[in-house]
Amino acid sequence: MRVLGIESTAHTASVGIVDEGTQVVAAATDMYKPVQGGIHPREAANHHAELFPELVERVLSQSGVDPESLGAIAFSQGPGLGPCLRAGATVARMLALTWGRPLVPVNHCVAHLEIARALSGFEDPVLLYASGGNTQVVAYAHGRYRVLGETLDIGVGNFLDKLALGMGSTFPGGPWIEKWAREGKTVHDLPYSVHGMDVSFSGLLTAAKALQTKGVGKEDLSLSVESHAYAMLCEVAERALAHLGSKELVLGGGVACNQRLRRMVEEMAHARGVRVFAPPPSLCVDNGAMIAWTGLLSDRSGGRVEVARSEVLPRQRTDQVEARWRVRTTEHVSEG
């Protein structure tokens, strides 16, 4: 069975087709890049609406798949920006109706975990999800994925993007910070904000901007920021592993493309005897293939919805959705 997935939670419009062996049969992605400042939801949604027909055409011709033979059409239901989610859901509904295929809603954060779980071969990993808008530590318990810790304010990627834009980068800023940090020599002191299982980045942003005003160069500033922010992520991931007694960790989200973060996580995991896996960059960032894969899992366990009941949920929480495909027959499913 092959499933087509549509991703449109934020800046990325992406379509992917996967098969039952997690093979990405075809993928096409285009990112909305604001000329100035942060992401504008309405402009991003317009970008997606304009691009989706071409992206769908591309995956169909790449794969040679007969659309009427698809097992399902999956789409990102939430969390995300309302206008962007609606652009993707509209396309998914239209394709499902035109081709007479079932429609399957997918939680975006769960999809990051499921694609990494499938590619790693791990049974029950903890996910460190570090993206633009989201920063969470997620693990499975009693029928659902649970958020064990998360950012109390902005996502780590948004933090990097905001700082980088102020230092002359284009969007996205994370890769610029990574490049500058490689040339950095001195790590300056910055706030280190871990609160139990949670992290926060807005104080770090303010302090980093203040250092910049004092004349600290972008190379040292980027190195300082990466050292602090990624150490915070490693700490909460490590605490989750310790609490759960887990020996498996996967990474997801665009910031997980970062080589320093990968190295730091690997060091921590190695010291704990934990196996760690990071998907290739194209499957770390937002992508339609992970939505298709999670849609395939969900469809097998009754995850279809009627078009009339396929509303998007911009504030959908990871633990609001039942992960029915993970539930063993002996297991008790608890309420959200």
List 7, 114, 161, 238, residue binding ligand AMP (CB under 6 A): 161
CA–CA distance, 264 with 174 (Å, rounded to integer): 17
Stretch that binds ligand AMP, among 170-178, 216-224, 228-236, 326-334 (CB under 6 A): 170-178
Scanning the structure block, which residue is given the tokens 């098969």? 19
Contact present, 58 and 99 (Cβ < 8 Å) = no
The site string for ligand AMP over 13-42 (x = CB under 6 A, - otherwise) reads: ------------------------------
Q: Measured from the CB of residue 256, what is the shortest distance to ligand AMP in angstroms?
A: 8
Q: Which does 83 bind (CB under 5 to 8 A by kind): ligand AMP, Mg ion, none?
A: none
Q: What are phi and psi of 93, to 5 degrees?
A: -60, -45
Give the contacts of 54 (CB within 8 A, at least 6 positions apart): 28
How many chain residues bind Mg ion (CB under 5 A)? 2
Binding string, residues 95-134; x marks residues near Mg ion by CB under 5 A:
------------------------------------x---
- Cα separation of 140 and 165, whole Å? 36
The CA angle 3-92-300, to the nearest 5 degrees, is: 35
**135-141 and 2-7 strand pairing:** unpaired
Q: Which distant-in-sequence residues (6+ apart) come within 8 Å of 205 by Cβ?
A: 154, 159, 162, 163
285 binds, among ligand AMP, Mg ion, none (CB under 5 to 8 A by kind): ligand AMP
- Taking CB under 6 A as the criterion, the residue among 83, 102, 172, 288 binding ligand AMP is 172
- 286 binding Mg ion? (CB under 5 A): yes
Task: Pick from 59, 111, 255, 278 the residue near ligand AMP by CB under 6 A.
Answer: 255
Whole-number minimum distance, CB 35 to ligand AMP, in Å? 16
Whether cis (ω within 30° of 0) applies to the bond prior to 79 is: yes
d(CA 282, CA 136): 20
User: Where do contacts with Mg ion occur on this chain (CB under 5 A)?
Assistant: 131, 286
User: Where do contacts with ligand AMP occur on this chain (CB under 6 A)?
Assistant: 10, 12, 131-132, 157-158, 160-161, 172-175, 178, 253-255, 257-258, 285-286
